[in-house]
Chain A
């Protein structure tokens, strides 16, 4: 019988679909019977989905310009 602590320890692999069938079945049985773990699993899954949908970070224009200037200088001296 799986405890809530066991469930939490397997949660990362479960969300990444890296658990084997036997453990997966035990975890799913636990979620079906334990409302707290169901909530944790559901909200963690949604946390990941929200972050995955975040837009790509843009480098500020001035930071990009200074990087390109530094790189051009380096390229001029090394090749």
Chain B
């Protein structure tokens, strides 16, 4: 089997124990699961809805639903992947409510592979991020992610920030593996473009490309 097709299942024993205890009625174990993942779920909800109030609703509804349906969690995937899936559905429902004239899906754009665009080509300074204070850097990074379309933001966050595998991201978002890969490529290239504006070596102009 090539590395590209080998499923990677990293068993998280702490998570597994917390889920088992929660299912047996241990409420403090479930609270520990909440503490573990609420930050990531809130960020995901913010990424999709881009509205703090909606994101808070999504956060609450997701954990309440997970608690209510804990007996339906199969245990053959990570708890985190399962709750991401719940949260994505809740967040999409919020978006649909706000944009009631059209359906909203994370899979609405079909990529043909012909629209990969690279706009900014310039080498970066050796350590550009060291030249900014932490607050400035966080603002630049957050604004760059916010400027992406919801599907790109979501795939990038799950895959490259949270560290889910391509397979887990596909499962959480109910997308095919090629769909995750093509969205990830576009997300990465668009972010790179945006960061290049801030990080390019002084005096360098973009070369012509393709």
**B188 in contact with A47 (CB, 8 Å):** yes
Instruction: Check: B7 CB closer than 8 A to any chain A CB.
Output: no
Q: In the complex, which range does the number of interface residues on chain B fall in? A: 35 or more
Query: A68, B181: Cβ atoms under 8 Å?
Result: no
Question: Do A79 and B209 touch (CB < 8 A)?
Answer: no
Pair A51/B124 contact, Cβ less than 8 Å: no
Are A8 and B118 CB-contacts (below 8 A) given A35-B207, A63-B42, A79-B25? yes
A15, B181: Cα distance in complex, Å: 12
Q: For A11, what are the chain B residues with a Cβ–Cβ distance below 8 Å?
A: 185, 188-189
Query: Is B40 close to A, CB under 8 A?
Result: yes
| Interface residues in A12-40 (C-beta closer than 8 Å to B) | 12-13, 15-20, 35-36, 39-40
> How many residues of chain A are within 8 Å of chain B by beta carbon?
42
Residue B9 at the chain A interface, CB threshold 8 Å:
no
Most B-side CB within 10 Å, residue of A51, A54, A78 = A51
Please name all residues of chain A whose beta carbon is closer than 8 Å to the beta carbon of B59 when the two chains form the complex: 59, 63, 67
Contact digits for B170-210, partner A, Cβ 8 Å, 1 yes 0 no = 00000000000100110011011001100100000001011
- Least CB distance from A11 to B in Å reads 6
Q: By the criterion CB–CB under 8 Å, are B141 and A54 in contact?
A: yes
From DSSP, what is the main secondary structure of chain A's interface residues?
helix
A59: min CB distance to chain B, Å: 5
User: Which residues of B are in contact with A by a Cβ distance under 8 Å?
Assistant: 2-4, 25, 27, 30-31, 34, 38-40, 42-43, 56, 59-60, 63-64, 67-68, 113, 116, 118, 121-124, 129, 137-138, 141, 156, 160-161, 163, 166, 181, 184-185, 188-189, 191-192, 195-196, 199, 207, 209-210
CB-defined A-B contacts under 8 Å, sample of 30:
A12-B188, A15-B188, A18-B3, A18-B4, A20-B3, A36-B207, A39-B122, A40-B192, A42-B123, A43-B195, A44-B188, A47-B188, A48-B160, A50-B141, A50-B195, A52-B161, A52-B163, A54-B138, A59-B59, A63-B56, A63-B59, A64-B38, A67-B34, A68-B34, A71-B67, A75-B27, A78-B67, A78-B68, A79-B25, A79-B27
Identify the 9 closest CB pairs spanning chains A and B, nearest first.
A57-B43, A12-B185, A47-B192, A18-B4, A57-B39, A44-B192, A59-B42, A59-B38, A36-B209
| Residues of A participating in the B interface, judged by any CB pair closer than 8 Å | 4-5, 8-9, 11-13, 15-20, 35-36, 39-40, 42-44, 46-48, 50-52, 54, 56-59, 63-64, 66-68, 70-71, 74-75, 78-79
